[in-house]
Amino acid sequence: MNAFNVWLRCLRDICRVRVDEIENAKWLLDRLSQSGNVRISAQFSTLEKLSGLRFEVLLSPRFSRSEFVRLLAAIPEANLKMESERESAMRLAER
C-alpha cells in the first residue's frame, strides 16, 4: 500500500475523515475496524470532484479524539492532515 492523505476535522464527539482515493478509504476503514475501538457512522459520502470518500468516527469517553489521532498517526501509510474550519469552508466554496 502506498502512502495517502487523510484529512481530519474533529468537532466535539465526532471526527470527520476525508481520504483522497476510494480504494485508500476502504483500506483505511478495514484497518480501523480491526482496532475494535472505532465506531464509524453509517453515513459515507463520495466526494464529487475528488475521487475520495468522507466518513465520520464517533468519539466517546472510552475512545477520545487524542486516541483516534494517535491511532491514525500510527498507520505509516496515512499522511495525517488536520483540517481547520477555514480550510473546510474554502474547499466547499471551490466546488
Q: Tens digits of per-residue pLDDT, 3-60?
A: 999 999 998 889 999 998 888 988 998 898 888 778 887 556 666 555 678 888 988 8
Domain membership of residue 63 (yes or no) is yes
Asked whether residue 14 is domain-assigned, the answer is: yes
Q: Is residue 92 part of a domain?
A: no
One-character DSSP codes across 17-83? EEESSHHHHHHHHHHHHTTS--EEEEEEEE-SSSS-EEEEEE-BTTB-HHHHHHHHHT-TTEEEEE-
Overall domain count for the chain:
1
Asked if 6 contacts 19 with a C-beta cutoff of 8 angstroms, the reply is: yes
What CATH number corresponds to the domain at position 8?
3.30.70
Domain membership of residue 94 (yes or no) is no
Task: Please give the residue range of the domain that contains residue 48.
Answer: 4-87
Whether residue 93 lies inside any domain: the answer is no
> Tens digits of per-residue pLDDT, 48-87?
555 678 888 988 888 899 999 999 999 999 999 998 655 5
CA-to-CA dists, residue 77 to 12, 15, 25, 35, 57, angstroms: 26, 19, 11, 16, 19
**pTM score:** 0.76
